[in-house]
Amino acid sequence: MKTYRARLKSAAGLLFNRGYEHEVERNQGESFDDYERRTWQNRAHVNEDGFVTIPAIFFKNAIHEAAAYRSDKLRGNKTYTKVFQGGVTVYEPLVTAYKAADCKAQSMYVPTDGRHGSGKRVWKTFPVLPKWEGLIEIIVMDEQVTREVLLNTLQTAGMFVGIGGRRPANRGDFGRFTVVSLEEIHQPEVLAA
């Protein structure tokens, strides 16, 4: 097992679409539009210190999707797709240096059920973090995934898959990132019990 530390930097703004309606109730008599204006920043992910975070699952999924997108051959017709799905993960979120108040408002006319092309639409406002940079740790449990393979896949994830809402893999322009560095970090071996 190897652990890599990747420094990532935004190449496009990051749009958040976290569900929060169960956390922040609508005031009595408050219209949907007024509720939206008052609470839109709650769609951003933040930690207990109030800093905007980018969930680990965003990066894990982007890496897995990029492995499938690339279809690099492992041997014969076998690709790295399943190797990445079973042997590469990210456990901790990327913590940015920004607060939810640093996010810009992006209003969009979106489907009420969240499905592209469905009928009824409403205006919603989404928090967009214009720029970000930070570190993630990528755990590689399968030795077939070399640093070079991981780097190529991570670069593809940043440019062609993206993270967050309205990302390239979902017909959007948000959530692109570049890989500033990728280095293996050596951790002490865990002794078997």
Could you report how far apart the first and last alpha carbons of the chain are, in Å?
18
Determine the Cα–Cα distance for residues 50 and 63; give it in Å rounded to an integer: 27
Determine the Cα–Cα distance for residues 2 and 163; give it in Å rounded to an integer: 24
Please, are residues 14 and 133 in contact by the beta-carbon 8 Å criterion? no
pLDDT, residue 104, reads 97
Mean pLDDT for the chain overall:
92
Mean pLDDT of 30-56: 95
The number of C-alpha atoms within 13 Å of 83 and in the hemisphere containing its C-beta is: 18
Global pTM?
Answer: 0.90
- CA-wise closest residue to 99 among 53, 131, 56, 136: 53
Better pLDDT: 75 or 53: 53
Share of the chain above pLDDT 70, in %: 95
- CA-wise closest residue to 158 among 140, 178, 182, 143: 178
pLDDT, residue 114, reads 67
Residues facing residue 3 across a β-bridge:
139, 185
